[in-house]
Amino acid sequence: MTTTDNFNDGATATVDTDIVLDVQDLSVTFSSEDGPLKAVRGVSYRVRRGEALGIVGESGSGKSVTSMAIMGLLPKSASVSGSARVLGQEVIGLNDAQISKVRGDKIAMIFQDPLTSLNPVYTIGYQIAEAVLTHRKVTKQEARKRAVDLLDKVGIPHPDRRVDQYPHELSGGMRQRVVIAIAMANDPDVIIADEPTTALDVTVQAQVLEALEAARKETGAALVLITHDLGVVAGHVDRVAVMYAGRLVETGSVEDVFYRPRMPYALGLLGSLPRMDEARHERLTPILGTPPSLLDLPAGCGFAPRCPMAQEVCHTSEPALEAAVDGEDDDPFRRHSAACHFSERLVDARPEDLFRTTALDAEAPAELAEAEDTGAAAERRQEEAEAEPGEVLLSAIDLVKNFPIRSKGILRRKIGEVQAVSGISLELREHETLALVGESGCGKSTTARLLLQLIRQTSGEVTYMGQPLHSLSDSQMRPLRRDLQLVFQDPFASLDPRMTVSDIVAEPMQIHGRGKGAKKRVKELLELVGLNPEHGSRYPHEFSGGQRQRIGIARALSLNPKVLILDEPVSALDVSIQAGVINLLEDLQDELGLSYLFVSHDLSVVRHIADRVAVMYLGKIVETGTTEELFDAPAHPYTQALISAIPLPDPVKERTRERIVVTGDVPSPADPPSGCRFRTRCPKFAGELTDEQRNLCVEEPPELLDRGTGHRDACHYSQVVELI
């Protein structure tokens, strides 16, 4: 359907009323001391009524800046050109008063961090009602009733009570649902969701995605979903736009981009993802190098410096976004398009056909890459996986850690305690990777620090090679720390910015009296982790995130440890960089015989790297087993919910698999539920058990019992379910 509209400039334009958002040649440039930073370059797309478009790409690709430009939320220092029309109305160039009439009414936005999106001094009901009152002629009572209704629609329990609460009284997942309710307030035609689930645990992410789907159905709005999570995109959008270095490099239906990618970057992104539905220890295909600086873009294709199939023309001429298949839809906004001079070469290509699976960094010396034998490494891993388990190196027995809660004031009396770890037992064997998984606040990182004796347990025992550690003083522990090293989550925060990389890697050797020969050893370690030894004189800020994590690993290896405790080592990295670090960890384990305790919330990474898995919930281990047992036949309802909530980067599988969505949030460890700690969120408890069975869950904590194969779970009514 088309209509003829008269715009403010007096021009007459024909408008397709099915198109609710029409972006044409949008560019954004920021001025800086180093010159113009071209954050967005010529982006064009259209979204039709009821349609969902996913915009994906790595950090700094321009995804969020594009949406901020459309919403009129960029600083005045930004130079914006091009066009963005909402229901035919141009929004680029509107002043604050004009854009405010559109924003929140015709188009709404959901931001990544709900805590900063909500005003802490007003109740959530007031903030939802305010959005209604701004654009509708209704009474305050009617606006409040609308707020309660919206809270109910996004799945917040007891909305009539919650409406008077403040943001700090809600969990992160609930706050994000409040933001979705605000976006729904005026039945907008377009909702832009900018990384709406990034900061959330996977079970809460599933709840928020359900709320987002409810918002679409309630309002009939089109959705622009900005995310780095290709699994979320696979399950929730109709079309995909891939961004790189400020521009679109591939667009098409979700099936086209996932199953038939025609741009090397999109193919590489898909190959770099660890997947729950693939075999353990399969090599990932990292994209070597880093995205170009937006201050100094290459003359040709922005991806050419990282592209294995780049030719001379790629370095001199930037390819246009053109039809990837001849004879497709003439509409450039509907067809499958790619910005690549040689897209036809990617027909039926696999990531491993194009990208090498080396663990080395792009700047590593060429002879290192030539020497690597990834096939032999994979064979060794398979042989070792089938071998008998090694000796126990590190173990915990009935480990408990409580943190006191003290009153305010001078006396600071103890008024309670946080039960961070509650009687867990585990073993880490030689040349094994044991993954410790669970949601935020379940006690994973506390357990890791207890095993290293960085904090002391309340009760229980930690042993290393049979030697109890809890009775040792700090000075007695010091020699043992050479064997037990830690790699942190944030590689930038864990490296001293005032020290060179060589000094950072050498520091543990100096501390432990092994400074002799440190210079040679540092070069060997940098080579070992795939970095160029000649860059040892540089500082951490001169390296990318993936390179900084390699530096942290080199430092941890400097004392020849037997055990590495890896606390979320890849969660802060983009997926293309993450893949190289995961491959590196596997290769180091093969070469040096290391044992890993791998702390993570990402079950896709765990499926790829771990030999055994222990699942934690609210301070307790609720299920343990080999990786295959736990993923192929999960028995505990919490494990099943975790696995179900992890999105698969496969549109068909993701949209047809069984989904188990838990309700509510993790209870406070200062006041855990009686009996089974998971019962307050358990789908089985809520919907399948009799009153008598529920009483057992309320009164009796379930024991971690062996079901006959070493696969253990702590549930009175456990039942194996196939979810992948």
Contact 107, 99 (CB under 8 A): no
Q: Are strands 222-227 and 52-56 parallel, antiparallel or unpaired?
A: parallel
Residue 112 lies in a domain: yes
pLDDT score of 290: 85
**For 405-420, what is each residue's pLDDT tens digit?**
988 878 788 888 999 9
According to DSSP H, which parts of 512-544 are helical? 518-528
Best CA proximity match to 487, nearest among 585, 396, 607: 585
Whether residues 102 and 148 share a domain: the answer is yes
* Least confident piece of the model among 147-156, 315-324, 376-385, 406-415: 376-385
Judge whether residue 511 has pLDDT over 60: yes
66 within some domain: yes
232 and 268 share one domain: no
Q: Tell me: pLDDT of 516 over 60.
A: yes
Do residue 118 and residue 222 come from a single domain? yes
pLDDT, one tens digit per residue, over 55-79 is 999 888 999 999 999 999 999 889 9
* Mean of all residue pLDDT scores within the chain: 89
313 belongs to a structural domain: yes
What mean pLDDT do residues 640-651 have? 93
Give yes or no: residues 475 and 577 share one domain. Answer: yes
C-alpha count within 13 angstroms, C-beta hemisphere, residue 218: 22
Q: Residue 212 in contact with residue 28, Cβ under 8 Å?
A: no
Please tell me whether residues 412 and 549 are part of one structural domain.
yes
Residue 648 confidence class, pLDDT cut points 50, 70, 90: very high
Q: How many CB atoms lie within 10 A of CB 429?
A: 17
Tokens 């087993």 belong to residue: 625
For residue range 585-631, what is the model confidence (pLDDT) as tens digits? 999 999 999 999 999 988 999 999 999 999 999 999 999 999 999 99
The pLDDT score that the predictor gives to residue 359 is 53
> Do 401 and 255 share a structural domain?
no
Number of separate domains in the chain: 4
User: Would you state the pLDDT for residue 494?
Assistant: 84
Strand intervals (E) in 254-330? 322-323
Last-in-domain residue among 560, 576, 611: 611
The percent of residues above 90 in pLDDT, for the chain, comes to 68
Same domain, 220 and 206: yes
Domain boundary among 611, 626, 657: 611
How far is it, in rounded angstroms, from Cα 115 to Cα 133?
22
pLDDT of residue 33: 87
The confidence score (pLDDT) of residue 6 equals 36
Q: What is the arithmetic mean of pLDDT over 397-405?
A: 95
Same domain, 553 and 636: no
Whether residue 249 sits in one domain with residue 124: no
**pLDDT exceeds cutoff 50 at 562:** yes
- Can you tell me the distance from the alpha carbon of 402 to that of 280, in angstroms, rounded to the nearest whole number? 36
CATH number of the domain within which 302 lies: 3.40.50.300
Local structure of residue 343 (DSSP, 8 states): G
- Residues 368-399 have pLDDT tens digits of 444 444 444 455 555 555 556 789 999 999 99
pLDDT at 281 over 80: no
Whether 615 and 437 have beta carbons less than 8 Å apart is answered as yes
| Domain, as residue range, for 318 | 241-357
Query: What is the pLDDT averaged over residues 456-479?
Result: 92
Position 698 confidence tier, pLDDT thresholds 50, 70, 90:
very high
Does residue 697 surpass a pLDDT of 80? yes
392-406, strands of its sheet edge to edge: 414-429, 392-406, 459-464, 467-468
Q: What was the pLDDT predicted at 356?
A: 74
- 329 pLDDT band, cuts 50/70/90, is low
The first and second tokens of residue 225, run together, are 């979903």
Rounded mean pLDDT of 287-303?
92
- For residue 137, pLDDT over 90 is answered with yes
Q: Is 73 exposed, middle or buried (0-12, 13-18, 19+ CB in 10 A)?
A: middle
Kindly state the DSSP code that residue 457 receives in the 8-state scheme. Answer: -
Which segment, 171-180, 404-413, 448-457, is predicted with the most confidence on average?
Answer: 448-457
Residues 600 and 528 in one domain: yes
7 domain-assigned: no
181 & 32 share domain = yes
Percent of the chain's residues with pLDDT above 70: 93
Is the pLDDT assigned to residue 221 strictly greater than 80?
A: yes
Tell me: pLDDT of 309 over 70: yes
With respect to residue 482, please indicate whether it lies within any of the assigned structural domains.
yes
Burial 455-467 (b: 16+ CB within 10 A, else e): eebbebebbbeee
Domain boundary pick from 553, 576, 611 = 611
Given pLDDT bands bounded at 50, 70 and 90, which one contains residue 2? very low
Helix (H) or strand (E) holding 5: strand 2-6
Q: What is the pLDDT of residue 379?
A: 55
Distance (Å, rounded) from C-alpha 557 to C-alpha 507? 12
Residue 3 has pLDDT above 60, yes or no: no
Contacts of 397 (CB under 8 A, 6+ apart): 425, 460, 461, 462, 463
pLDDT of residue 355: 86
Q: Is residue 625 part of a domain?
A: yes
- Flag whether 172 is in a domain: yes
- Which alpha helices (H) appear in 282-336, and where do they start and end? 312-316
Q: What is the pTM of this model?
A: 0.88
Same domain, 633 and 601: no
Q: Specify if 538 maps to a domain.
A: yes
**pLDDT tens per residue across span 234-274:** 999 999 999 999 999 999 999 999 999 999 999 999 999 99
Tell me what the mean pLDDT of segment 218-234 comes to. 93
What is the tens place of the pLDDT at every residue in 4-38?
Answer: 343 344 344 445 678 999 999 999 999 988 899 99
Place of tokens 């594009």: 66
